[in-house]
Each structure stands twice: as C-alpha cells, then as structure tokens.
Structure 1
Amino acid sequence: MEKIVLGNTGIEVTKLCYGALPIGPLQKNLPVEESSEVIAYALDKGIKFIDTAQAYGTYPHIKGALKKIKFRPVIATKSAAATYEDMEKAVLEALKGMEIDYIDIFHLHAPKARVQADVFEQRKGALQALLDYKKKGMIKAVGISTHSVKVVEAAASREDIDVVFPLINKIGRGILEGTRDEMEKAIALCDKNGKGIYLMKVLGGGTMIEDYESSMEYAMDFGENYSIAIGMISKEEVLYNIRYFNGERNLEGIASMRSKKIVRTSPNLCVGCGICIDTCHSEAISFNSTGKAYIDPSKCIQCGYCVAACPLFSIRVV
C-alpha cells in the first residue's frame, strides 16, 4: 500500500488509516476479541496506521490486535483533557491501555472547539503536558483533531503543533465555522507550513457510504499527500477499502456491508437536559416542540458522542 510521510514529522504512514471509533462501545460495540481480530487482519493486510481516542474506549481492542502481529504500526490517539494533570493521566492511560512504550501522535481532541482561544488557550495546560511527554520521547508528534475551520487555520501557524486531523468531505457535512472550500484552504495552509495531515469523516461518518466512490475520489484527489482515516468494523470492509486504496475500482458491495445506522432518542426517557446538545459537535441536536432532544439526520455524522454523554441512556445508535 502507498505510504506517505506526515509533514515534517518523519513519521511514515500508509495512505489508508484504520479508524477505531465505530468498532468500539460508542457505536458497534463489538466484543474485544472480535474487534482485535478485525484490527489485526487490517494490519496484516497492509494498513500500518491506527487512529483512536481516549473517548472511543478501544485501547483494549488495539492491545489485543498488537499481540497478534509482529510489527509496530503507527498509532495516533487523542484526549479532550483540559488541564496538565488530566492530560498526563490520559497519556499514561493510553500507554498502559495499549501496552506500548510510546505514542506516535497524540492530539488535543477538540471536535467542537471553534476559535483558537477555545482550544489553545483554555487547554494550554493539556498542550504543555503533551509537549513535555514529547521531550521525554514518549510522544513522537503533537497534534490537533478538530471539525473547525478556524482551529485548522490557527494550527497552521503554531510551531507546537506537528499534525492536524481535520474533518473534510465532498459535501462539507460536519464542518464547523466555515465552508468546505474554506476548510480546503485551511488544510492547504497547514500543508504549506509542514504540518502532517490526515483526513477524517470523508464518508461523513458512514452517512455517505452509498456514495462511496465519488466521496473517496474527492478525498483522494484533494489529499494526494495525506492519509485518510476510515472506520471499519469487519474484515469485509477492511478488504474492500484496501483493494480500493491499492487501485482497484468498480468494486461492488460496500454499502451492503455496513448496515444503516440511525442515531435517535427515546422520548419516554429524554428529560430535555440539553447535555447532548452541548456534546454534539455537528450541531445536529436541538429541542423539539415538546422540549425533547431531536437529532437531525441531515447533520448527524453518527460519531456516537451523544450516546455516551446522555445520563439517562435515552440515545441509541440503531
């Protein structure tokens, strides 16, 4: 599989990155052993790059996969921690949870952050923790994971950010604080300034899977020097994506492999607390006329963050 180097980091990754979100408890919630088999299969078939996060709950799945293979893939993770102490705990949790000695890329996890001050100023303690662990050699590169055009623009000029993980897709679904064209320009600026770049949600979190071919063409044409993270929950999906990234076209069956998901609320359980609205980084949730949470399917990217945030378990991916 084609490989690239992430900006000025010297970190070589495969063009296809294994996205660990959908296999974990926020979405499909496969058993750890089954998940580790899928991830190990992906790695054995040629993918050498994994993206995960503290919030995804997939460290045990990745640990299991690493025990099944004979090489060390590049691993990126992220945390929404705001303070030095909490980020330090997040770093140690990742190292212990995956039983690894270092983390290749550790991001500030900031999907909903809108302006530079929100993430870089309010989380300066957390950022300093990542930089300190980079000096210790336990983190190779520090990054930012975001859906915001403004944050991507701000990251381009920061010397302390090595890698940027932005949301981009052909219809601009999920992009905050700007348009798709503005996000393209912000990403290009990061590229020009030597930031490593890999792309998220090019299939809109799975909502655009029936338009797989044109969605992937857009992402690959736009990001010729970028890696692309795609969430995969089965060996069939892994093989399909690998074949596509290895140049095969006119493939059939990807839409049928992924059962359609809908994120919905239970009106009987929802108390209208609004926590899900604050959690949603796609602005897909609002109150309906009865004061209950309503999820707009045209905006939802099926990340599952609201599922974990709801204190009454009234939101489900079905």
Structure 2
Amino acid sequence: MQYKKLGNTEITVSRLCFGTLTIGPLQRGLDVEAGAGLIRQALELGVNFMDTAEIYGCYPYIKEAIRGFPDAVVASKSYAPTGPEMQKSLYKCLKELGRDYVDIFLLHEQESLFTIKGHWEAVEYLVKAREKGLVRAIGISTHYVAGVRAAASIPEFDIIHPLINRSGIGIADGGARDMLDAIAFAAMMGKGIYGMKCLGGGHLIPEMDSAMDFILAVPGLTAVAVGMQSPEEIKYNVSKFSGIMPDQKLVEQLKGKKRRLHVEDYCRGCGQCVERCTAGALAIVDGRARVNMELCRLCGYCASVCPDFCIKVI
C-alpha cells in the first residue's frame, strides 16, 4: 500500500480510504460485527484511512474495527451550521468512536463560498476545536467545482473531499475536466485532497479498471474513499491501489455486480426524499417515489429522511 501526507497537514494516509457509507444503515445495513470485520480486513492489508459522516450511522463499526489500530486515521462530516450544533456533532463523534480526538472533521456537502459562509459559525468552532487538539484538520466535502475552488482559498481549511470520476457523474456544476482543474488549484494552495465516488456511485463498475486507472492518475489527489461491501472488493481495491494487477477472475466477478436504488411498494409518496435529493433523481409519480437511475448517485441520503424506511441501495 502507498502512503502520502494530506496537503500541508502532518496526517499520513493510505491512498485507499475505506468509505463506510456502503456498509451502514443507509445502504447494506450490516450488523456491527460484520461491518467492523470488513474494515478490520482492510486495516490488516494496510488501509489506515476511513471516511464516514454523522448521517451514515457508522461510528459503532469504526470503534469496533480500530481496536488494536491506534494510528488509524478517521475522517467524519457534519451538516451542523452553528457553533453549538457543530460542538454537539463533534462530541457525538468522539464519544461513539471512543477517542479523545478525530483526525479530520468536515462540513458536509458544501456547494460554494455562499454555503460555507452560511456555516461560518461552525467553521469558527472547528478552528477552536483544532487548537484544543480535538480535531487535527478541518475542511469540506463537496459535489461542486465551486465548492472546491472556494475552499481552496480559505486559509482556515486544511482538507477538501471532492467528488471526481472519469465520467463526471454526480458533479453538480460542471464536468470531470472542470473538477480536475479545481483539484489542481486546491493542491497548489496546499490543501489535502481525497476524492469520492470514483465509480460514480456504482455506475462505472462495468469499466472499473479504467475508472480506477483514471482516479489513480489524478495529480494532487492524495487518497480516494471507496465504498466496499465484501472481502472481494477489498482485495481488488487493495491490489489496485498498491500498484498490483488484480486477479482477472476477481475483476470479472466484480464487474457483474450492479447496484440500484430500491423503493418499497408501501411508499406513500410523502416527498421528503425528493426534497433531500440534490441530484434531482427522485420524483413523486402516481403517489409513490420513483427514481431516475441515470441521475442517481446511489448515495442513499434520501433513505435518511424517509419516515417509513422504504428506500435502500441494493
């Protein structure tokens, strides 16, 4: 496994980051023992970096997995817009991880300078938390080119977590080339950058080798968070990110795996998922939520607001 420092921080991470969204309650919904077992398998193979978020509900998995791995690097995210709300989110993270500090804590899903300024009270709190040693680095996650460019010019931020893949799937305000240019600018500004959605939420699985080759060649991208749900996926990704040719039988097996957003028949069409979806992939048709899979990022965030628990990524 290859390791690099994140920008101007002192945080050294594996190029492969374990994205925990896919094992948690918003997607596969593994029990804690099974989910922690997958993370631990990755840790034992040299993956020292995990990405999560308050909304994912994955802190218990990580707490269990990192027993015996005191140097594991954990990044989390919160939507909290104010100082007191961000303090609550951070302390929840620390308590549920069983740690005195978290390595990276980000503003979740920022769009532009305007949304960042709208969360500035939360940023000021995180700056103070960093000074106290509760957080090692702060920044944003974003699906927007404008978000990357804005964060790159904000001296308080250490880390940017952007969406990037070869086809530009999920980038909200441009294409892959636009995001690559923004990432290059952010790297030049000394920010630590780790990407997400390199397989486009699963859409690029049929061309996974070329999608991975693309993401591994992006200058300025220190690491990439990849969602993994099985030992086979971990084995493939560890090989790929270590510069080792994966077993072709394994590649063909994983290429056959397809994922989709499933809405149960008992959906009553309340519309909360439609409001939550930032990709415009959901609509209420004939009294029930319907998904446009060409637009869906397979993030599962819509499931977090469904009052009847009828949405899942399967």
The TM-score normalised by the length of structure 1 is: 0.93
Where does 1:89-100 land on structure 2 (aligned, <5 Å)?
89-100=88-99
Counterpart in the other structure of 2:258: 260
Question: Cα distance, 1:248 vs. partner?
Answer: 1.8
* Unaligned ranges ≥5, structure 1: none
Question: Cα distance, 1:274 vs. partner?
Answer: 2.6
Separation in 2, partners of 1:87, 1:77: 12
Separation in 2, partners of 1:50, 1:268: 35
Contact 2:27 2:300 in 1 (8 A): yes
Counterpart in the other structure of 1:276: 273
Counterpart residue type for residue 185 of structure 1: D
Separation in 2, partners of 1:255, 1:31: 28
Counterpart in the other structure of 1:30: 30
Counterpart in the other structure of 1:78: 77
- Structure 1, residues 93-151: CA drift from partner, whole Å, max 9, x if none? 111101011111100001xx433212x12211211221110010110100100101111
Counterpart in the other structure of 2:103: 104
Contact 2:17 2:47 in 1 (8 A): yes
Contact 1:175 1:282 in 2 (8 A): no
> Identical aligned pairs, as a percentage?
39
Contact 1:237 1:254 in 2 (8 A): no
Counterpart in the other structure of 2:234: 238
> How many residues are aligned here?
312
Where does 1:212-231 land on structure 2 (aligned, <5 Å)?
212-223=208-219, 225-231=221-227
Match of 1:306 among 281, 302, 305: 302
Contact 2:5 2:12 in 1 (8 A): yes
Contact 2:184 2:219 in 1 (8 A): no
Secondary structure of the structure 1 residue equivalent to 2:212: helix
- Most deviating of 306-315 and 143-152: 306-315
Counterpart in the other structure of 1:52: 52
Secondary structure of the structure 2 residue equivalent to 1:22: helix
Counterpart residue type for residue 262 of structure 1: R
Counterpart in the other structure of 2:9: 9
Separation in 2, partners of 1:30, 1:255: 25
Separation in 1, partners of 2:56, 2:72: 19
Q: Structure 1 residue 61 and structure 2 residue 61: aligned?
A: yes
Secondary structure of the structure 1 residue equivalent to 2:275: helix
Separation in 1, partners of 2:197, 2:156: 25
Question: Cα distance, 1:221 vs. partner?
Answer: 1.1
Contact 1:265 1:315 in 2 (8 A): yes
The TM-score normalised by the length of structure 2 is: 0.94
* Unaligned ranges ≥5, structure 2: none
Separation in 2, partners of 1:114, 1:262: 25
Separation in 1, partners of 2:275, 2:252: 31
Question: Cα distance, 1:298 vs. partner?
Answer: 1.1
Contact 2:26 2:312 in 1 (8 A): no
Question: Cα distance, 1:291 vs. partner?
Answer: 5.1
Question: Cα distance, 1:255 vs. partner?
Answer: 5.8
Tell me how large the CA RMSD over aligned residues is: 1.7
Counterpart residue type for residue 21 of structure 2: L
